[in-house]
Structure 1
Amino acid sequence: MTGNSSQEDLPAKATTRRSWLAPLRDDVHLSYTDLPVLACCTVSGLCDSVAFNATGTFASMQTGNTIFLALGAARLPANQPLLWLRALVSIAAFWAGCFVFSKMRHFHPHRKATLALSFVLQACFIFIAAALAQTAAVPSFGMNRLPTTLSDAEGAIRSEREDNGLSLIPVALLAFQFGGQIVMSRVLGVNEVPTNVLTSLYCDLLSDPLLVAPLSKNPKRNRRIASIVLLVAGGIAGGWIQRTSAGMSAALWLAGAIKFALGVVWVFWRSKPLPTEKSPNPAGVV
């Protein structure tokens, strides 16, 4: 009796041990999934404010980098002969991020575990870039304040020359994870908020026939406006943080913390209801 009882209790105990992981295999309910995507716009503003201030290139908005790359063919701008190289590295890393993170489509893309893993990985790339800035391992990312005097400006130019290509590392790290960010916006179906670009967003917003409709009548318009506001707010916050003694690293730590928090949020997100099972047909009616 005792032996049989222990064997009967074993599956129940095993089930109890696995139960806390079971929700991670659930797909998220798609209601309000636009909110984490919108929060990513703030991350874009924070990181791009640092990347542009440190290297003159973008980590998120690749349209500008494409123009910088094109100008490099004519050896312009004359005072930044390697700007094209930094732009190329950012574009290539962004492409790689899009390619790698897009493969998560094959592993239940709406599953809580998949979304959480994606966002946590993105946060880790930002954290590595922040650590490089914090330790001043990359001189151009280690500046604490904007240059205010001629001597400060000359020092900033000198530190850029001393980078010896090291500035390409944080640029690549940030651009790679931004590739994953825009992929996740597509996976969640929030195409009107790409998180990385504003040009098409401006066009879609201003050409919307329901531009002045009530809030409840045009959610896509609401998301576009929120996206613009949050990206600009992130850029402003990043700029002011860089003017303090905290420096560029603080803006990157904040961006990484936001992205990591979003990864945790997916773990506790509301699950998508399971499809209802069809009731048996005892009467055998066809």
Structure 2
Amino acid sequence: MSGATILPQANNSSDQVRTTATHHRLSTYLEESLCLASRLLELELFLLALAIGIQDAISFPDFHCFASNQTGNTVLFAVGVLLDDPSGGEPPMFAISTLAVSLSFFIIGVFVTGQIANRLAISQTRGWLFFSGLGQTVLVIIAGALQLRYSELVGPNTKLGRIIIGLLAFSSGSQVAVVRGLKITDITTAMATAAYIDIFIDPRLFAGFTENRGRNRRVVFLLMLVLGSFVGAGIGKAANLGVGVLVSGGIKTVVSVMFLFNSKEDNEEEK
């Protein structure tokens, strides 16, 4: 009888040990810093650039502003403030409140995401890239669902429009902050101007294909951003613009899962 009572206790203890070991392995795995020279990581960032291109292409027709291109939004904001004359009887060129929402939520997304990563020193870890990517994806999918379901209520100067662009801008700012934390400056996933400049002032611009990885990264990044813009515009022409947002969210979902399969920092096989 005493043996019968001891056996379950032993089994429970063994199960607890296995559970603790599993949790430890999972925690260690998620805390690993990723190999920044990985080709897989490059592919993931290119796909994120594709997603951003889609978002900006579908946000401008509906909201007359961008989700991630805050240079453009800053210029449009100034133009709207100084050149739109409500007393003239003509409709405003741009919705100042919507532009302000996009600018503000993008900055908040960058600030919150960047500072969390800084404080916890997790900017290059597998778990951070995975969970922050999922968080961004949730915001994008919510925005796409709202835009798809209530398309008749979406406009450049509507409450729902400001909610949607706020979600997209926060997600875009968060994505940019996460990518900047990787310190791969050739692939920002969002801002094209610096990439254009860096390509054409590169003293090794005409080096062989395998001899200038930075140039190759910038070129592919720009191509993916442009491709995303065409994809987003094409979806908007053929269907509801909300579909484009959901496609972008789908891409971000795939990338977030892909982060779980990257090699860690001390693994040289993908360099």
Q: TM-score, normalising length from structure 1? A: 0.81
> How big is the shift at 1:260?
1.1
Q: Which residue of 2 aligns with 1:222?
A: 216
Q: Which residue of 2 aligns with 1:121?
A: 135
Q: Is the alpha carbon distance of 1:91 and 1:12 closer, same or farther for their aligned partners in structure 2, counting shifts above 3 Å?
A: same
2:31 corresponds to 1:25: yes
Q: Which residue of 1 aligns with 2:10?
A: 6
> How big is the shift at 1:261?
1.1
* Aligned mate of 2:60, from 52, 59, 65: 52
Q: Which residue of 2 aligns with 1:135?
A: 149
2:114 corresponds to 1:104: no
> How big is the shift at 1:88?
1.3
> How big is the shift at 1:217?
1.2
Report if the CA contact (8 A) 2:64-2:94 is conserved: no
CA distance in 2, matches of 1:35, 1:73: 40
Counterpart residue identity of residue 127, structure 1 = I
CA distance in 2, matches of 1:13, 1:169: 46
Counterpart residue identity of residue 242, structure 2 = S
> How big is the shift at 1:200?
1.7
Alignment partner of 2:82: what SS? coil
Q: Which residue of 2 aligns with 1:63?
A: 71
Tell me the alpha carbon deviations over residues 96-155 of structure 1, each in whole angstroms, 9 at most, x when there is no partner.
000011022333222211110111111111001101111116633xxxxxxxxxxxxxxx
Q: Which stretches of structure 1, 4 residues or more, deviate above 6 A after TM superposition?
A: none
Report if the CA contact (8 A) 1:34-1:190 is conserved: no
Across the aligned residues of Structure 1 and Structure 2, the Cα RMSD in angstroms comes to: 2.4
* Aligned mate of 2:97, from 85, 101, 112: 85
* Aligned mate of 1:202, from 196, 201, 217: 196
Report if the CA contact (8 A) 1:71-1:84 is conserved: no
CA distance in 2, matches of 1:226, 1:175: 24
| Structure with greater helix share of residues | 2
Tell me the alpha carbon deviations over residues 213-266 of structure 1, each in whole angstroms, 9 at most, x when there is no partner.
11211111001101111011111111111112x311111111001111111111
> Whose Rg is larger?
1
Tell me, which stretches of 5 or more residues in structure 2 are unaligned?
A: none
Q: Is the alpha carbon distance of 1:132 and 1:13 closer, same or farther for their aligned partners in structure 2, counting shifts above 3 Å?
A: same
Q: Is the alpha carbon distance of 1:135 and 1:214 closer, same or farther for their aligned partners in structure 2, counting shifts above 3 Å?
A: same
Report if the CA contact (8 A) 1:44-1:231 is conserved: yes
Q: Which residue of 1 aligns with 2:44?
A: 36
Which stretch of the first structure deviates more once superposed, 4-13 or 233-242? 4-13
Alignment partner of 2:206: what SS? coil
Alignment partner of 1:167: what SS? helix
Count of matched residue positions in the alignment of Structure 1 and Structure 2: 253
- Quick one: percent identity of the two aligned structures? 26
Q: Is the alpha carbon distance of 1:13 and 1:137 closer, same or farther for their aligned partners in structure 2, counting shifts above 3 Å?
A: same
> How big is the shift at 1:16?
4.5
Q: Is the alpha carbon distance of 1:249 and 1:217 closer, same or farther for their aligned partners in structure 2, counting shifts above 3 Å?
A: same
> How big is the shift at 1:181?
1.2
Which stretch of the first structure deviates more once superposed, 222-231 or 28-37? 28-37
> How big is the shift at 1:40?
1.1
Q: TM-score, normalising length from structure 2? A: 0.85
Q: Which residue of 2 aligns with 1:284?
A: none
